[in-house]
């Protein structure tokens, strides 16, 4: 990469506007020819339209579009890399991507003038409207937004629906973009008259506004022609950093639009009008809070009122969230061994769902990366976040994710008081959901009551399992009774049927968390911690729980199948009872990770669970050191469900 843009402010760009047929090979051939034409006419950066090689399939719901997808690297990038290197040009190619995580994305890949892939941008804002049913097909991209330092200019790429969000353009500008490209597929719905006004004019206007308010050049490239119920209006255009149209394609035919830009004007507009240096980001917090957060007591606009519900843990996940162990008070003389336990957990789970991992500082991040590399972990599937936190119990202080029928995710940020204010130093972990929400930018509901994720379990059909010892404890929400608590659970998790156990096991400092007692393994089956030994201190508690579950009914009024799971009676080196339980497993996309303790009951528990999860591999993870912190695998993890079940 030459970096010649540092000495030159003149750059020539090309936009390729075409009609699209049902023949992918034909579309590819046409695009290659038009890239050649643009290059011969002097274009240095060439941008194609959104989903350039396929017809706009999201106008239909629930179609199997997988055969239309391609990988990166793949056929498009291979062809365009050769063409970019041949002509010394930059190519921006938007395509339907099948990611290495087996998810599908609306992606733009940027290929530099030497033929190398600079990177990709995955569409972040996904619409779901009549004839634009994109949430059926595309997984949302993740921040940060990206600016690509190409051979000729620094370019930002945003895709179609992104163009209606001024925040995205502003972030690209602040990241150094000289030009923002908007590959697009937009048009009119046949025989539809909008009361809103002229859609085409609004589309053109909003992007010119981005140019003016940010002092950057904007290039929008659209397709033309009729496809099903849509009439794409073309009209690809380029405007300068004060919104003046420099070149515009017609609305009724294909066009290779080539125009020269003077990027020196960006600085002139930015400095002359002061829209960037006179910003007041200290006043912008309501932009996040008012849109992303619904707060207040029951009766406010809650999750349930907006159609959100907590999915069962066996629903498909996008990711798992963890925090790296570092505190010797939590794991006395065991931190290094617990670190190895985490490596094993990540090693087993990362191939089927992405891993989001908090670490306390940069030096820890460096150490963790090296440990993962030595373990053969694919670091592309692990996202490490440096942030302040006190301890590892993510299930309890992290958010609970919920989903609505429109395939949208939100999070619920419950209050965390360190299990009834038992550990003052851990109270700072209550801020972790806010840290996550700044990264994910999804709606966040704040019920305003204390609740830990390990205290509840759901079957995804409307039934919730919990314990009285925890949720009705005076050290959690002393002013609320059982009916009040159930109302909150209904409003914020979308459940309506409740199964209450009484008490938890010995050694559990959480006051009876359900994930050490009983868990749903499918909508109609619960595994229950159980012992046959009348001399075991937990015998009476576990007998009582089993009897309660045997009489419980699901949301449809039917009895549930209750499966007994043996207990490992585990004592510490100091001869106190540790809260070891096989029910503290994590249900991943392809594997179930089960805590084991070098106990004779390990194999029995694994065999029972393997029979209950026939489509997943049940994997035992030694947790004899982790349990010294009074929790194991489920306690340290939180699943982030996929928007698509």
For the annotated catalytic residues, the residue numbers are 635
> Rounded to whole angstroms, how far apart are CA atoms 297 and 474?
19
Q: In the structure encoding, which two tokens stand for residue 35, read together?
A: 């890239």
Residue that has been written with the tokens 């046409």 in this structure: 30
DSSP code of residue 428:
G
Tokens 């540092």 belong to which residue?
A: 6
- Rounded to whole angstroms, the Cα distance separating 222 from 589 reads 38
Residue 438, CB-side half-sphere exposure with 13 Å CA sphere: 7
Angle subtended at Cα 144 by Cα 178 and Cα 366, rounded to the nearest 5 degrees = 120
Q: Are 165 and 206 in contact (CB under 8 A)?
A: no
Report residue 63 CA to chain centroid gap. Answer: 23
Q: Which tokens is 181 given?
A: 């490209």
Number of other residues whose CB lies within 10 A of the CB of residue 521: 24
Q: Alpha-carbon distance 213 to 170, whole Å?
A: 8
Cα of 523 vs its chain's centroid, Å: 25
CA distance 498 to 472: 14
Q: What is the DSSP string of 477-508?
A: -TT--HHHHHHHHHHHH---EEEEE----TT-
Rg (alpha carbons) of the chain, rounded to whole number: 28
Question: The tokens of 522 are what?
Answer: 């499918």
CA gap 174, 112 in Å, rounded: 22
SS3 for 534-600 is CCCCCHHHHHHHHHHHHHCECCCCCECEEEEEECCCCECCCCCECCCCCCCCEECCCEEEEEECCCC
- 69 vs 24, 64, 135, 137, 475, CA distance in Å? 11, 10, 15, 10, 53
Sign of CA dihedral 342, 343, 348, 351: positive
The residue to which tokens 């707060």 are assigned: 295
> Could you tell me the sign of the dihedral formed by the alpha carbons of 505, 508, 509, 510, in that order?
negative
Write down the H helix ranges in 355-416: 362-374, 394-397
Please give the Cα distance from 93 to 110 (Å, whole number): 7
Structure tokens at 9: 């402010």
> How many Å apart are CA 495 and CA 308, to the nearest integer?
10
């Amino acid at each position: 990469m030459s970096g010649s843009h540092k000495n030159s402010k003149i750059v020539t760009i090309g936009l390729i506007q075409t009609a699209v047929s049902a023949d992918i090979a034909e579309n590819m051939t046409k695009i290659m020819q038009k890239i050649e034409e643009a290059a011969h006419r002097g274009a240095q950066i060439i941008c194609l339209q959104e989903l350039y090689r396929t017809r706009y399939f999201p106008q239909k719901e629930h179609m199997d579009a997988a055969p239309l997808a391609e990988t990166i690297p793949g056929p498009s990038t291979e062809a365009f890399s050769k063409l970019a290197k041949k002509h010394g040009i930059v190519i921006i190619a938007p395509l339907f991507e099948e990611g290495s995580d087996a998810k599908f994305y609306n992606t733009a890949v940027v290929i530099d003038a030497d033929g190398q892939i600079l990177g990709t941008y995955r569409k972040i804002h996904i619409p779901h409207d009549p004839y634009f049913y994109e949430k059926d097909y595309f997984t949302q991209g993740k921040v940060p937004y990206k600016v690509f330092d190409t051979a000729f200019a620094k370019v930002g790429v945003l895709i179609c629906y992104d163009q209606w969000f001024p925040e995205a353009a502003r972030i690209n500008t602040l990241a150094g973009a000289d030009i923002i490209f908007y590959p697009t597929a937009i048009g009119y719905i046949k025989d539809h008259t909008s009361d809103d006004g002229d859609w085409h004019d609004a589309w053109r206007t909003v992007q010119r506004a981005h140019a003016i308010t940010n002092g950057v050049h904007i290039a929008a490239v659209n397709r033309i022609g009729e496809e099903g119920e849509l009439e794409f209006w073309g009209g690809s255009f380029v405007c300068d950093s004060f919104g003046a149209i420099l070149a515009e394609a017609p609305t009724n035919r294909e066009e290779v639009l080539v125009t020269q830009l003077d990027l020196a004007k960006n600085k002139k507009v930015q400095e002359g009008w002061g829209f960037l240096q006179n910003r007041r980001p200290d006043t912008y917090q309501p932009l996040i809070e008012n849109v992303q957060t619904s707060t207040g007591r029951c009766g406010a606009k809650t999750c349930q009122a907006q159609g959100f519900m907590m999915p069962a843990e066996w629903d498909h996940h996008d990711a798992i969230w963890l925090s790296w162990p570092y505190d010797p008070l939590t794991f006395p003389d065991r931190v290094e061994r617990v670190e190895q336990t985490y490596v094993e957990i990540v090693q087993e789970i990362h191939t089927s769902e992405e891993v989001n991992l908090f670490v306390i500082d940069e030096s820890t991040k460096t150490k963790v990366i090296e440990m993962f590399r030595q373990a053969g972990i694919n670091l592309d599937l692990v996202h490490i976040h440096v942030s302040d936190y006190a301890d590892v119990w993510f299930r309890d202080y992290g958010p609970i994710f919920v989903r609505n029928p429109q395939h949208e995710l939100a999070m619920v940020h419950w209050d965390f008081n360190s299990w009834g204010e038992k550990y003052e130093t851990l109270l700072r972990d209550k801020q972790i959901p806010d840290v996550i929400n700044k990264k994910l930018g999804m709606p966040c509901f704040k019920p305003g009551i204390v609740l830990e994720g390990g205290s509840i379990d759901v079957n995804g059909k409307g039934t919730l399992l919990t314990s009285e010892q925890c949720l009705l404890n005076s050290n959690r929400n002393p002013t609320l009774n059982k009916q009040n608590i159930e109302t909150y659970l209904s409003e914020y998790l979308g459940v309506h049927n409740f199964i209450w156990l009484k008490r938890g096991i010995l050694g559990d400092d959480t006051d009876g968390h359900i994930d050490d007692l009983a868990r749903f393994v499918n909508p109609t089956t619960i595994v229950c911690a159980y012992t046959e030994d009348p001399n075991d201190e937990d015998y009476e508690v576990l007998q009582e729980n089993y009897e309660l579950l045997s009489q419980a009914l699901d949301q449809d009024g039917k009895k549930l199948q209750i499966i007994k799971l043996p207990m490992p009676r585990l004592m510490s080196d100091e001869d106190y009872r540790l809260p070891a339980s096989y029910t503290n497993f994590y249900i991943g996309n392809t594997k179930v990770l089960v805590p084991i303790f070098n106990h004779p009951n390990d194999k029995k528990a694994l065999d029972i669970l393997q029979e209950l999860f026939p489509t997943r591999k049940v994997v035992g993870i030694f947790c004899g050191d982790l349990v010294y912190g009074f929790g194991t695998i489920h306690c340290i993890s939180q699943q982030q469900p996929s928007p698509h079940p």
